[in-house]
C-alpha cells in the first residue's frame, strides 16, 4: 500500500506556487526582455568584497560550527547599532533576531502571532510572499488599498470602526512591491497610533528602504511604537545568497520566534552571517557601495518611467519610482494587462499582470514592471515592444 | 494598548526549549569537561578546503543571486549521483530536495505529511529535534523502544495489531542520537515491508551514517521501499555552517515540500550549496577527509567506552559506539543520572541525563555521553571525575 499524505491536497489550496514564479519560467527565453522578474542585479553585487569577507570569516573555526538560533552574535551587534541609528533609540541586541531572509521572519511571526481565523490586514495590491504565509497560517485576510501615499488609513479606520480587530497589519512601507509607493510620514505616525489604540501588531516589511533615489526614506513606522515589528534584509543591498534577513521586535516576540526557529532549522550559517556583519560594519565601503547601486537603479527607473510616458502618454499612468525595484503602471484606456501579455511575449517583452498581486480589487488594467536588471537602452526597447504589442491589440470593449 | 500574541502561550507547551540546550548554557564553564554537547569537532572541519571552494564559488555571479527552492542545481546533481550509489538505483534529480539542514526537512515534512492528531511513531529514547517538530504539528506521538538492534519492530507490530495506523514512523537508522545503536539489516527490510503493508511513511533520519568506525553502515531503509523518505546532511562530515541538508523522496512529496519552502524562506544559499557540491564531488579528497574524521572519532569513542568499563565495571552498561557521536550508558546500580548531575558538575564533568530524551520510558538511570570534542586523555579524565562524583553520592534507595 502506498503511503498517503492527507494534508497536502488541502494545503495546496492555500499554497499555490505563485503565478509570478510560473511566469518567470516562461520568460527566460533569450529573445524576451523581461520586466517580469523581481531580482536585484547580480552584476551590482559586491562579489570581490564578499570573497575577501569569506576568506576572513574562515580564519576562525567557530564560524564553521552551529551558531545560536537568534543569529551569529557579531551580526546581531552590528544590526543593533544600525537599527539604533535608524530608530533613534538604543535597540538592545535581545530585540534583534536574524532570519534566513526576511521571508523566514514572516513565516515564523505568522506562527507566533496568528491563530487560525485571525484577521490579517494586507495592502492591495499585496506582496505575494506575505499573502502566501498568512494564507498558510489560516488567517482571514482583508485588503486595504494603496494610493500615492501608501496604505489608505481612512479605509483601515472604517474597518476598525465596524468592530473588526486585526491581529496583524502588514505593510511594505518603502517603495512597495508591487505598488511602488511609500507610506507617508503622517500615515506612519497614524498607523502606529492605531496599533496602540486597538492593540494590533504592525509588521513593517522593509527590504527596499535603503534603495532611495532622491531623498532618504522616512523614519520607519517602528520609530513610533513598540507595537511595530520591523523586518529588513541584506538581499537587496548586498546579495541574496547571504540569506540574511532580520527582525527588530520586543524581546517576548523574539523569544517565541526563537523556539520556532529551533524546530524550523536550528540556526543560520555563521559563515554567511559573519560575511554580512563584515560588510555592514565596513561603513565607508558600504556607503559607497549602496550609493552606486542607488545611482544605477535610479537611472534605470527614470529610463523606464520616461519611456512609458513618452510612448503611452495618458493611456498609462505609472508611479514615479522614487526607489526600490518596481514601477506599477495602469492602462487608462481599458486595456486588459493579462490579455495583453500573450501579445507582449510575441513582441519580446514580459511583465507581471496586476491580477497576480490582487487581493480584493482585480487590477485587470495594471502591471508590475521591474527595472533592476536591464540597462536604460534595453528598458527603452522593452517599452517600445510593449507599445507595439498594445498597438497590435484590438481595443477592449 | 499593547499588542498580544494569543497563540504563543499555547505553543510554548509543545515547544519548550530543549533541556539539553539549557544544560549546555550551564556547562560552558572552562573547568567543566562536557560530554553533554552534541556538536561535531570544529577542529576536524575542512576549513582550508572550504575556503578554496568559497573562492571558486564566487567566480560565478549566479551564486550571489536567489536560487531555486529545491536547491542549487549542481548540488542536487551531485547528491543524485551519491544517493544513486547508496540506494542501488538511479535516483532522479527531481527526488532530491536540499533543505537548510536536515532539521528543515523534518519541519517541512511534518507540515506536508501530518494532520493535527495524526499518529507518529518515534523511537524511545528519541531525537529531540524530531520530537519538537512532531509535537508542534499537533501529532499524537507513540514511542517504540530501542534495543541493541535499533527500533523494536515486535513492539511496532503489536501497535499495528491493535489497529493503530501511523502516518509516519521516524527512525534514526545509524548510530542513534541518543541511543547509540544501529537498526539491523533484517529490521530495515521488515520496517520497509510494514510501511508498504500498512501504508505509512518512514522518515529515515541519517545524519551519522558515514561516521562508521569499523564497518560501513547497512543499506539504508530507503533501499527497500519508496515509502521511505531519507534525510541526510553535510553538517557531521563537512561543517554545520554550510546548512546543507537534503531529502530523497517521491516527486509528489518534493513538490509539496517545495511549496512550503517558498513560504518558509524562499530558497537556500547558492554560495554554501555550491561549496557543498564542490566538496562532495571531490571524491578522492572527500574519502580521505571522512576517513580521518572516522579515525579520530573512533579513537575517542573507544577511549570513552574503555574508561567507562574500566572505572564502573558492571555498575554501568554502555553501547559500543560503532559510529556516530554518542554513547548511551545506563547505571545498573540504581543511580539516578539526573540526581547525579549536580554532583558531577561539582567534580567538573557534564553529561545529558537520559530523561531529556524520554518519551514513554523515563530513563532515570541513563545518560548520553558525547565523545566528539575531547581527546582520549580528556575523555578518560572526564570519566574519572564522573566516577568520583558517583563514589561521593550516597547509594540510591
Mutate which: B64, B111, B289, vs A, most A CBs within 10 A: B64
Bridge partner list, B97: B247
User: How many residues appear in chain B?
Assistant: 397
Q: What is the pLDDT of residue B394?
A: 77
Four-point Cα dihedral B236, B240, B242, B246, nearest 10? 50
Neighbours of A2 (CB within 10 A): 11
Q: Residue B329: CA atoms inside 13 Å, Cβ hemisphere, count?
A: 32
The CA distance from B139 to B118, in Å, is 5
3-state secondary structure of B41: coil
> DSSP letter string over A303-358?
HHHHHHHHHHGGGEEE----BSSEEEEEESS---HHHHHHHHHHTTEE-EEGGGG-
Instruction: Tell the burial category of B356 from Cβ atoms under 10 Å away from its Cβ (0-12, 13-18, 19+).
Output: buried
Q: Residues with Cβ < 8 Å from A102, sequence gap 6 or more?
A: A205, A207, A231, A232, A233, A235, A245, A246, A247
Are the beta carbons of A58 and B50 separated by less than 8 Å? Answer: yes
Q: How far is CA B105 from CA B11, B220, B241, B300, in A?
A: 21, 18, 17, 30
C-alpha cell at B68: 531555486
Neighbours of A335 (CB within 10 A): 20
Q: What is the pLDDT of residue A393?
A: 87
Are the beta carbons of B263 and A133 separated by less than 8 Å? Answer: yes
Give the CA radius of gyration of chain A: 21
User: How many residues appear in chain A?
Assistant: 397
Q: Which of residues 293-332 of A touch B (CB under 8 A)?
A: none
User: Is B368:B308 a contact under the CB 8 Å cutoff?
Assistant: no
| Backbone angles phi and psi of A124, in degrees to 5 | -125, 115
User: Is A319:A327 a contact under the CB 8 Å cutoff?
Assistant: yes
Mutate which: A121, A195, A263, A275, vs B, most B CBs within 10 A: A263
Are the beta carbons of A263 and B62 separated by less than 8 Å? Answer: no
3-state secondary structure of B385: helix
Residues of B in contact with A99 (CB under 8 A): 265
A244: part of which helix (H) or strand (E)?
strand A244-248
- Domains of chain A are 6-45+287-390 (3.90.1150.10), 65-281 (3.40.640.10)
> DSSP letter string over B234-278?
STTTT-GGG-EEEEE--HHHHHHHHHHHHHHHS---HHHHHHHHH
Q: What is the pLDDT of residue B384?
A: 98
A218: part of which helix (H) or strand (E)?
none
Q: Residues with Cβ < 8 Å from A342, sequence gap 6 or more?
A: none
Q: How many CB pairs under 8 A join A and B?
A: 232
Neighbours of A284 (CB within 10 A): 7
**Alpha helix stretches (DSSP H) within chain B:** 6-14, 19-26, 47-57, 73-87, 102-113, 128-136, 153-161, 185-198, 251-265, 270-281, 283-312, 337-346, 376-391
Q: What is the pLDDT of residue B393?
A: 87
The pLDDT profile of chain B, 397 residues, written as one tens digit per residue, is: 666 654 554 444 444 455 666 666 666 678 999 999 899 999 999 999 999 999 999 999 999 999 999 999 999 999 999 999 999 999 999 999 999 999 999 999 999 999 999 999 999 999 999 999 999 999 999 999 999 999 999 999 999 999 999 999 999 999 999 999 999 999 999 999 999 999 999 999 999 999 999 999 999 999 999 999 999 999 999 999 999 999 999 999 999 999 999 999 999 999 999 999 999 999 999 999 999 999 999 999 999 999 999 999 999 999 999 999 999 999 999 999 999 999 999 999 999 999 999 999 999 999 999 999 999 999 999 999 999 999 998 765 5
Q: What is the pLDDT of residue A124?
A: 97
Bridge partner list, B353: B367
Q: Which of A11, A227, A241 sits opposite B2 (nearest CB)?
A: A227
> B185-198 and B153-161 are packed helices; what angle lies between their axes, rounded to 10 degrees?
20
Q: Which of A99, A199, A241 sits opposite B3 (nearest CB)?
A: A199
User: Is A188:A224 a contact under the CB 8 Å cutoff?
Assistant: yes
The pLDDT profile of chain A, 397 residues, written as one tens digit per residue, is: 667 655 554 444 444 455 666 666 666 678 999 999 899 999 999 999 999 999 999 999 999 999 999 999 999 999 999 999 999 999 999 999 999 999 999 999 999 999 999 999 999 999 999 999 999 999 999 999 999 999 999 999 999 999 999 999 999 999 999 999 999 999 999 999 999 999 999 999 999 999 999 999 999 999 999 999 999 999 999 999 999 999 999 999 999 999 999 999 999 999 999 999 999 999 999 999 999 999 999 999 999 999 999 999 999 999 999 999 999 999 999 999 999 999 999 999 999 999 999 999 999 999 999 999 999 999 999 999 999 999 998 765 5
Q: What is the pLDDT of residue B395?
A: 67
Helix then strand count (H, E) for chain A reads: 13, 14
Interface membership of B261 toward A (CB under 8 Å):
no
Residues of B in contact with A65 (CB under 8 A): 39-40, 42, 45, 239-241
Q: What is the pLDDT of residue B102?
A: 97
pLDDT in tens, A186-214: 999 999 999 999 999 999 999 999 999 99
Residues of B in contact with A118 (CB under 8 A): 6
Q: Residues with Cβ < 8 Å from A248, sequence gap 6 or more?
A: A79, A83, A87, A91, A95, A96, A222, A229, A230
Q: Grid coordinates 530495515 are at which residue?
A: B188
| Backbone angles phi and psi of A266, in degrees to 5 | 70, -60
Interface membership of B17 toward A (CB under 8 Å):
yes
ipTM above 0.90, yes or no: yes
Are the beta carbons of A17 and B262 separated by less than 8 Å? Answer: yes
pLDDT in tens, A289-339: 999 999 999 999 999 999 999 999 999 999 999 999 999 999 999 999 999
Q: Which of B17, B196, B265 sits opposite A100 (nearest CB)?
A: B265
Are the beta carbons of A112 and B227 separated by less than 8 Å? Answer: no
Amino acid at each position: 500500500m502506498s503511503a498517503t499524505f492527507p494534508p497536502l491536497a488541502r494545503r495546496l489550496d492555500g499554497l499555490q506556487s505563485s503565478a509570478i514564479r510560473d511566469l518567470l519560467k516562461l520568460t527566460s527565453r533569450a529573445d524576451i526582455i523581461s520586466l517580469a522578474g523581481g531580482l536585484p542585479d547580480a552584476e551590482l553585487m559586491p562579489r570581490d568584497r564578499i570573497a575577501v569577507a569569506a576568506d576572513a570569516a574562515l580564519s576562525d573555526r567557530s564560524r564553521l560550527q552551529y551558531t545560536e538560533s537568534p543569529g551569529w552574535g557579531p551580526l546581531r551587534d552590528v544590526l543593533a547599532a544600525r537599527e539604533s541609528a535608524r530608530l533613534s533609540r538604543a535597540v538592545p541586541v535581545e530585540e534583534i533576531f536574524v532570519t534566513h531572509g526576511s521571508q523566514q521572519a514572516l513565516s515564523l511571526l505568522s506562527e507566533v502571532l496568528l491563530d487560525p481565523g485571525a484577521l490579517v490586514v494586507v495592502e492591495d495590491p499585496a506582496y505575494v510572499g506575505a499573502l502566501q504565509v498568512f494564507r498558510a497560517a489560516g488567517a482571514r485576510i482583508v485588503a486595504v488599498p494603496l494610493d500615492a501615499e501608501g496604505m489608505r488609513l481612512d479605509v483601515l479606520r472604517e474597518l476598525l470602526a465596524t468592530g473588526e480587530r486585526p491581529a496583524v497589519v502588514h505593510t511594505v512601507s518603502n517603495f512597495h512591491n508591487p505598488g511602488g509607493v511609500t507610506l507617508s510620514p503622517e500615515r506612519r505616525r497614524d498607523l502606529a497610533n492605531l496599533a496602540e489604540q486597538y492593540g494590533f501588531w504592525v509588521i513593517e516589511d522593509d527590504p527596499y528602504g535603503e534603495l532611495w533615489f532622491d531623498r532618504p526614506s522616512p523614519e520607519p513606522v517602528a520609530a513610533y511604537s513598540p507595537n511595530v515589528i520591523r523586518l529588513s534584509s541584506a538581499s537587496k543591498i548586498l546579495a541574496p545568497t547571504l540569506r540574511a534577513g532580520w527582525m527588530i521586535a520586543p524581546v517576548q516576540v523574539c523569544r517565541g520566534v526563537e523556539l520556532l526557529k529551533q524546530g524550523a532549522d536550528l540556526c543560520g550559517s555563521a559563515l554567511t552571517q559573519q560575511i554580512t556583519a563584515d560588510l555592514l560594519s565596513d561603513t565607508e565601503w558600504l556607503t559607497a557601495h549602496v550609493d552606486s547601486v542607488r545611482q544605477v537603479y535610479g537611472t534605470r527607473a527614470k529610463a523606464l518611467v520616461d519611456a512609458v510616458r513618452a510612448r503611452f502618454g495618458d493611456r498609462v499612468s505609472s508611479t514615479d519610482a522614487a526607489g526600490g525595484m518596481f514601477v506599477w503602471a495602469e492602462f487608462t484606456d481599458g486595456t486588459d494587462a493579462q490579455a495583453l501579455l500573450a501579445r507582449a511575449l510575441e513582441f519580446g517583452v514580459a511583465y507581471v499582470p496586476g491580477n497576480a498581486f490582487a487581493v480584493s480589487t482585480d487590477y485587470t488594467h495594471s502591471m508590475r514592471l521591474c527595472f533592476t536588471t536591464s540597462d536604460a537602452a534595453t528598458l527603452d526597447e522593452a517599452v517600445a515592444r510593449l507599445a507595439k504589442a498594445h498597438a497590435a491589440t484590438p481595443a477592449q470593449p
